[in-house]
Amino acid sequence: MSGVRHLVSIDDLSLAEILGLFEAAKELAKDLRASSHLCRGMISASLFFEPSTRTRLSFESAMLRLGGGVITAADKLMLSSSKGESLADTIRVVAGGYSDVIVLRHPSEGAARLASAYSTVPVINAGDGCHEHPTQTLCDLYNLWIERGHIEGLDVVLSGDLRYSRTIHSFAYALARFGANVICVPQPGFEMPDYVLQRLREEFGVEPRRADVTRLGDLASRSDAMYLTPQKPHQLSLFIDPKGKDVERVDALYMTRPQTERHPDGARSLENYVQLGKLQLAAEPLRDAVVMHPLPRRDEISADLDSDPRSIYFKQAARGVPIRMAILAYLLGALPLQVEGEAAEPRYHAVQLVGNLCTNPTCISRSEARHVPPLFKLASRHPLRANCGYCSHEFAFALVGCTTTRHFHEKDSPEVRKIRPDHLVFFQDLAQASATGFAPAVRPSVSI
């Protein structure tokens, strides 16, 4: 909707805006009761189609501390979706006078993007499937910024379930944007997905390299570790040691639980899932590292670390209130930020398609096809690659058309490079292109 700012992805905020939110949150945190005038008379709607404790309560606490009110639908059995109502219709109703802002958590990837297309009030993504969790990412970045004073150049270890954790995916993108270095230390079978690594490479110039994490001891004894740094490829080529980039010092260790609710058919084994305790934290590179966790935890962090001054995960949760106060007040226009430059620009162009080319079974475009406007984003021009605009998964296509000429080409044709991004249209096959009224491009004849 025109004029409404949404927070669907961390990319919806510029770096200047993010730092401005950190400064605002720092001020709000000095006295959480002193800002009850900012959003007086405004209402936040919590729409949670999945369980949540910290995210939902911290958002509701934040809105109440800003002087606003809260309405909540946190049991999906009590929502009209259990009667067959679409998410699009639910959003239309809740945005139509019920609330001034919507905080949405949903199991389908891309749900928040869909909601933003139908909402006349700001939509905040509180987690959509395995896709993104931008406010948790802002909370994590804020904690790093508070603890270290900066983010650029920090060395951050991501450990545990890196495959199914949406928090990890968003955090990795944000760290790359800020120029931090990421050391992936996954549990075997829970490595970072290829599509996340591909996006890191294409958008941030990150080229994955093997990491030598022998100094991390038991934490990484069975891990095929990876070092990700947003530097130029020629700089990365200096890492010529076959063992990989040596990890000598870590600024932060981010531990994650196994995301069993997202494991397909329980296929992932949790046997020997590492537990982080004082013994593991005794490794020399971790001596000064702060220990972070998005919570809830299971057995991956021992209780003997709770009293360790390096452990900040309960502080991390508490700081979720002031950062979410800043987010709510900013999107509602109650908290102007003193930032330079323009708001973040979309990284990709929206392009057109015929039919649903997304093959991700958990994408919102699969479950709400009749409400999903075509939305795909251009990932690369050379070679031409496109991702689903909802869940970010890459899709396959055979032919590319131009909406101006009504001609189609083979996807690898040089002529495709001349088509404006917003004039592209994708087809699965010749029959689909012909049925839509597109004709094959006429190749120019060659004079002899």
Query: For position 198, which CATH number holds?
Result: 3.40.50.1370
Cα 10 to Cα 173: distance, rounded to the nearest angstrom: 8
| Count of structural domains within the chain | 3
How many beta carbons lie within 10 A of that of residue 415, not counting itself?
Answer: 15
How confident is the model over 259-275, as a mean pLDDT? 66
> How distant is the alpha carbon of residue 295 from its chain centre?
17
pLDDT score of 2: 53
b/e map 246-272, b = 16+ CB within 10 Å: ebeebbbbbbbbbbeebbeeeebebee
pLDDT score of 281: 83
Range name among 11-15, 39-43, 49-53, 296-300 with the lowest pLDDT average: 296-300
| Per annotation, catalytic residue among 30, 33, 37, 83 | 83
Q: With cut-offs at 50, 70 and 90, classify the pLDDT of residue 368.
A: confident
Cα 305 to Cα 310: distance, rounded to the nearest angstrom: 8
Q: Is residue 397 included in any domain, yes or no?
A: yes
Compute and round to an integer the Cα radius of gyration of the chain: 23
Active site annotation includes 83: yes
Q: How do residues 78-137 score in pLDDT, each as one tens digit?
A: 555 555 789 999 999 999 999 999 999 999 999 999 999 999 999 999 999 888 899 999
Task: Domain of residue 394: give its range.
Answer: 350-440
- Integer CA distances (angstroms), 278 to 10, 24, 43, 176, 285, in order: 33, 35, 44, 29, 14
| Per annotation, catalytic residue among 65, 131, 133, 169 | 133
Range name among 84-98, 167-181, 188-202, 412-426 with the lowest pLDDT average: 188-202
Indicate whether 364 and 420 sit together in one domain: yes
Indicate whether 110 and 175 sit together in one domain: no
How confident is the model over 353-377, as a mean pLDDT? 82
Indicate whether 181 and 298 sit together in one domain: yes
pLDDT score of 448: 46
| Per annotation, catalytic residue among 5, 26, 54, 407 | 54
Indicate whether 18 and 32 sit together in one domain: yes
Q: Is residue 339 included in any domain, yes or no?
A: no
Q: With cut-offs at 50, 70 and 90, classify the pLDDT of residue 241.
A: low
Range name among 131-140, 244-253, 323-332 with the lowest pLDDT average: 244-253
Note the pTM of the prediction, 2 decimals: 0.87
Indicate whether 369 and 433 sit together in one domain: yes
Could you tell me which residues are beta bridge partners of residue 184? Answer: 158, 226
Residue at a domain's end among 285, 313, 341: 313
Active site annotation includes 135: no
Active site annotation includes 377: no
Indicate whether 99 and 119 sit together in one domain: yes
Look-up: residue for tokens 């509701």?
Answer: 60
Indicate whether 130 and 141 sit together in one domain: no
Strand order in the sheet with 252-255: 245-246, 209-212, 226-228, 181-186, 155-160, 252-255, 290-292
Does 242 score more than 70 pLDDT? no
Indicate whether 299 and 175 sit together in one domain: yes
Indicate whether 285 and 354 sit together in one domain: no
Indicate whether 143 and 194 sit together in one domain: yes
Amino acid at 438: F
Indicate whether 276 and 159 sit together in one domain: yes
Indicate whether 183 and 130 sit together in one domain: no
Q: Is residue 448 included in any domain, yes or no?
A: no
Look up the CATH number of the domain holding residue 388.
2.30.30.20
| Per annotation, catalytic residue among 6, 55, 177, 409 | 55
Q: Is residue 417 included in any domain, yes or no?
A: yes
